[in-house]
Amino acid sequence: MSLSQLLRDPETIRHWNGGEIAISSRIRLARNLAGHSFPDWAGETECAQVWERLRAVWPECPALKPYRMAAHDELTPLDRQVLVERHLASRELSRKGRGSGIVVREDLRVSVMVNEEDHLRIQILGLGLCLDDLWRKMEELDRQIEERVPMAYCGRLGYLTACPTNVGTGLRASVMLHLPGLALTNDLPGVLRAVAKLGLTARGFWGEGTEAVGHFYQISNQITLGETEHRLIASLESVVREVMEHERNARQRLLENRPALLYDHVGRAYGILSHAHLLTTHEAIALLSALRLGVVMGMVSSVDRAMLDAMLIAVQPAHIQMLSERALDAHERDEWRARLVREWLSPPRRRSPRKKKNG
Amino acid sequence: MSLSQLLRDPETIRHWNGGEIAISSRIRLARNLAGHSFPDWAGETECAQVWERLRAVWPECPALKPYRMAAHDELTPLDRQVLVERHLASRELSRKGRGSGIVVREDLRVSVMVNEEDHLRIQILGLGLCLDDLWRKMEELDRQIEERVPMAYCGRLGYLTACPTNVGTGLRASVMLHLPGLALTNDLPGVLRAVAKLGLTARGFWGEGTEAVGHFYQISNQITLGETEHRLIASLESVVREVMEHERNARQRLLENRPALLYDHVGRAYGILSHAHLLTTHEAIALLSALRLGVVMGMVSSVDRAMLDAMLIAVQPAHIQMLSERALDAHERDEWRARLVREWLSPPRRRSPRKKKNG
């Protein structure tokens, strides 16, 4: 099974069941091979050499097994977009040429981008708030790779990276938080300002430079230099825990003081999702976010969180295209997305693999 | 049973089941007693004399029987608003003082406002497009009244009225049309301009000076002078029939060319109405309008038109207040309205007279 086929397996979507407030955690390391120019300075030939050299390393890393690998030209544009939507690759990787590619562990929890901005971007994902666990796994994988290829490292600075913002540890740890309660109480801007003041960054649903659709925020460290990985991760985790506490309080306050507002927010989302015939990606995510709040708070019993989290992946444009198994224009995608959501939300007795169009 | 009690009888709401496009028709005549000043020029004493004189007339009019009568001070502000929401009285009547009042036939299809702008505003309502039938009934009632009190009439002009725009026949005929198809195809402004050019007026849901919420439009004659009643009514009816044809075509075009848009419009309305926990009057009417389109077009089988038309009456502010049987502030009304709508739309097996709050 190729990586492309693996991504098309619906089971891989079903297994993405996040935590109540902390959906998922992620750690990535930026690494570069000693003796090679950074990808943007290296030509195609040198990038291809790096790719080949690393290709020999993967079978030697137990922490990666079993894995699927795909060089740049083995992925269709749709595959690449699907990888971005699963948070396994960056948009930047798609824009790179020959010599770039990706290695993905079969459970889709570990990926290594090759010749993106750095020679290696090693990433481990986990559900809920699990930074310590991820870091232990990352140390293991990083060690297994470094034992086989020497990395560009400077005693004074640490690991060298293409962009100075990653120099030192090369570490970015992030937690995806779901903050609809703080949004409803209008406390979100204040909390995000406080997060920024503590030297952390809050990014949108799809990472750097994207909107916070559905009140999903990725909180991550900005500093990579002058601190140990443990300290960076511990400080991120402590802020994340505080934000989670604020979110929990906001939800409780809503339930006590403005129940109608809360039930209305959740009820409308459920009503629209289960009856709309056209849904854009953004609207679908925003409504699934509201419904997720209701499900987590025990207000909606007919939907489970695992299904919602799978839907949050499946409604994205490349996934819709992939699941429909044919090329769709934007209007058709909106129609297909609405049908998919209606079917997933319809009671089991009425669920069928494909309803009659407009039936 | 007083008029006030009659209005509180839920059965009177249930019987308001309009036509598919032409919801209802209405004819009213403005009349003034000979030998009396118009209400705004008469003092309270003279108004009271007119009221008393007419009071003796009602029992003599078979076309009014059985009727309920209420003088100004026998109606609460809520009763007056309910009368407005049922299209039985005008907002202006509420502002009048002693000597004003209303007579309403028990089936709520006939009303006579006394000492509003004119001494008499006689009105007959009917379901669907039924102007000819209403005019026959109106001639009968008008004759029965005029046989007992002489009206201010001038051989050259016709009936004299407080406002010159009503002089002549004193007739206003109107048809309430439901035009969501033309709204969705963006053809509504053009159609309304054409209606205006033909000397007719299109007013909103609650009559003169109100918005066209839910794409409900009352189309009525503007001219009252220099034409016979028959000609005025025939010319209104012919334009109304043309507008109805345009609406029918718009619906057909939507179904053929943009089914997803149509199903989305209707589905969302149903989804929100059956799941919202806060609904303003305007939003409720707009959504009920969309749902009505779907029901009339056979797209929604679980809801019937009679129930929707009853809901269109029941969701209005005074009705909500009346049905809840206690004083509510605006937020509570929105909550109560949403609960009422959810209960009406919930499948019979789950319907209960009153659900647990936020349950």
Instruction: For chain A, give every domain's residue range.
Output: 3-253, 259-345
| Domain spanning A3-253: CATH 3.30.590.10 | yes
Residues B251, B255: Cα–Cα separation, whole Å: 6
Tell if the CB–CB gap between A276 and B261 is shorter than 8 Å: no
Q: Which of B264, B302, B339 to mutate to test the interface with A (most CBs of A within 10 A)?
A: B264
Instruction: Give the per-residue pLDDT at B348.
Output: 64
Of A263, A272, A358, the CB nearest to B277: A263
Q: Between β-strands B120-127 and B22-31, what pairing exists: parallel, antiparallel or unpaired? A: antiparallel
Supply the pLDDT for residue B359: 37
Please list every residue in chain A whose beta carbon sits closer than 8 Å to the beta carbon of residue B264: 276-278, 338
How many other CB atoms sit within 10 Å of the CB of residue A331?
12
Among B153, B130, B177, B134, which Cα is nearest to B30's?
A: B153
User: Do residues A36 and A42 lie in contact, with contact meaning Cβ atoms separated by under 8 Å?
Assistant: yes
Answer yes or no: is pLDDT of A333 > 90.
yes
What residues of chain A lie within 8 A of the CB of B273, using their CB? 271
User: Locate tokens 């500093």: which residue?
Assistant: A223
Can you list the alpha helix ranges (DSSP code H) found in chain A?
3-7, 10-14, 44-55, 77-85, 91-95, 131-146, 180-184, 188-197, 229-257, 259-273, 281-296, 305-314, 317-324, 330-345
Q: Is A283 on the interface with B (CB under 8 A)?
A: no
Q: Report the C-alpha gap between A315 and A319 in whole angstroms.
A: 6
Looking at residue A348, its pLDDT comes to: 65
Provide the pLDDT for residue A61: 97
Residues B107-135 pLDDT 10s: 999 999 999 999 999 999 999 999 999 99
List, in order, residues 6 or more apart from A186 with CB less than 8 Å away: none
Chain B residues within 8 A of A275 when measuring between CB atoms:
267-268, 270-271
Q: Is A331 on the interface with B (CB under 8 A)?
A: yes
> Does residue A248 contact residue A190 with C-beta atoms inside 8 Å?
no
pLDDT tens for each residue of B3-18: 988 988 888 887 778 8
Mean pLDDT of A207-211: 63
- Predicted local confidence at residue A17, as pLDDT: 80
Structural contact between residues A100 and A32, judged by C-beta atoms closer than 8 angstroms:
no
Which residue reads 């609460």 in tokens? B76
CA atoms within 13 A on the CB side of B183: 16
Residue B298: burial class (beta carbons within 10 Å; 0-12, 13-18, 19+): exposed
ipTM, two decimals, is 0.87
pTM value is 0.89
| Mean pLDDT for all residues in chain B | 92
Q: Which chain B residue has its CA at the smallest distance from A333's CA?
A: B260
The closest of B187, B345, B183, B337 to B265, measured between CA atoms, is B183
Residue B348 CB burial class (10 angstroms; 0-12, 13-18, ≥19):
exposed
- Closest partner residue to A268 (CB to CB) among B275, B331, B334 is B275
One DSSP character per residue, A107-146 reads TSSEEEEESSSSSEEEEEEEESS-HHHHHHHHHHHHHHHH
Exposure on the CB side of residue B31, measured as CA atoms within 13 A? 22
User: Which of A220-224, A237-241, B322-326 has maximum average pLDDT?
Assistant: A237-241
Residues of B in contact with A261 (CB under 8 A): 277-278
- Identify the CA nearest to B17 among candidates B161, B149, B125: B125
Which residue matches tokens 């290829």? A149
CA distance A263 to A250: 14
Question: How much is the pLDDT for A356?
Answer: 45
What 3-state class would DSSP assign to A177?
strand
Residues of A in contact with B268 (CB under 8 A): 271-272, 275-276
Q: Calculate mean pLDDT across residues B32-37.
A: 95
Q: A278: which chain B residues are within 8 Å (Cβ-Cβ)?
A: 260-261, 264
Mean pLDDT of A94-117: 94
Residues of B in contact with A273 (CB under 8 A): 271
Q: What is the mean pLDDT of residues A75-86?
A: 92
Residues whose CB falls within 8 Å of the CB of residue B275, separated by 6 or more in sequence, listed in order: A267, A268, A270, A271, B342
Q: What is the mean pLDDT of the segment spanning A273-288?
A: 96
CA dist list (Å): A151 to A54, A170, B241? 12, 12, 82
* A330 contacts A321 by C-beta, under 8 angstroms: no
Nearest to A277 among B260, B277, B278 (CB): B260
Chain B: nearest CA to A41, how far in angstroms? 50
Q: Which residue has the tokens 């949403």?
A: B338
Length of chain B: 359
Residue from A268, A287, A302, A337 whose CB has the most chain B CBs within 10 Å, to mutate: A268
Q: Does B277 touch chain A (CB under 8 A)?
A: yes
Dihedrals phi, psi of A208, to nearest 5 degrees: -45, 130
Query: Which residues of chain B neighbour A277 with C-beta distances below 8 Å?
Result: 260-261, 263-264, 267
A267 CB within 8 Å of a chain B CB? yes
Tokens matching residue B237? 């009816």
Positive or negative torsion for Cα A201, A206, A210, A211:
negative
Query: Whole-angstrom Cα distance, residue A260 to residue B357?
Result: 9
Distance from chain centroid for Cα A140: 22
* Nearest neighbour of A276 by CB, restricted to B268, B278, B331: B268
* Both tokens assigned to B209: 């000076």
What distance in Å separates the CA atoms of residue A191 and residue B82, rounded to the nearest whole number? Answer: 47
Residues of A in contact with B339 (CB under 8 A): none
**B273 has a chain A CB within 8 A of its CB:** yes
Percent of chain B scoring above 70 in pLDDT: 95
Name the band, by pLDDT with cuts 50, 70 and 90, for residue A288. Answer: very high
Would you call A336 an interface residue with chain B, using a CB distance cutoff of 8 Å? no
Residue type for position A239 = V
Given this model, what pLDDT does residue B353 score?
Answer: 46
DSSP B355: P
Assign 3-state DSSP to chain B and report helix, strand, coil percentages, each to 5. 50, 15, 35
Distance in angstroms (rounded) separating the CA atoms of residues A74 and A104: 14
Q: Is the pLDDT of residue B226 over 90?
A: no
Whether A267 and B260 lie within 8 Å, measured CB to CB: no
Per-residue pLDDT at A208? 61
pLDDT interval class at B293 (50, 70, 90): very high
What is the rounded distance in angstroms from the CA atom of residue B222 to the CA atom of residue B209? 14
CA distance A172 to A25: 11
CB nearest A274 (choices: B264, B271, B338): B271
Q: A335: which chain B residues are within 8 Å (Cβ-Cβ)?
A: 260
The answer to whether B276 contacts chain A (CB < 8 Å) is yes
Burial pattern B176-188, b for ≥16 Cβ within 10 A else e, equals bbbbbbbbbbebb
Q: List b or e across B64-83, with b for residues whose CB sees 16 or more CB atoms inside 10 angstroms.
A: beebbbbbbeebeebbbbbb
Phi, psi of A171 (to 5 degrees): -100, 135
Report the distance separating Cα A187 and Cα A173, nearest Å. Answer: 24
Any A CB within 8 A of B331 CB: yes
Instruction: List the single residue in A264, A268, A275 with the smallest CB-CB distance to B267.
Output: A275
Tens of pLDDT, residues A54-77: 999 999 999 999 999 999 899 999
Q: Which amino acid is at B255?
A: L
Termini Cα distance of chain A: 36
Per-residue CA distances from A86 to A80, A110, A212, A266 (Å): 10, 11, 16, 26
CB contact under 8 Å between A268 and B263, yes or no, is no
CA distances from B252 to A316, B21, B185, B243, B246 (A): 33, 13, 11, 14, 10
Contact yes or no for B152/B159 (Cβ under 8 A): yes
Residue type, B118: D
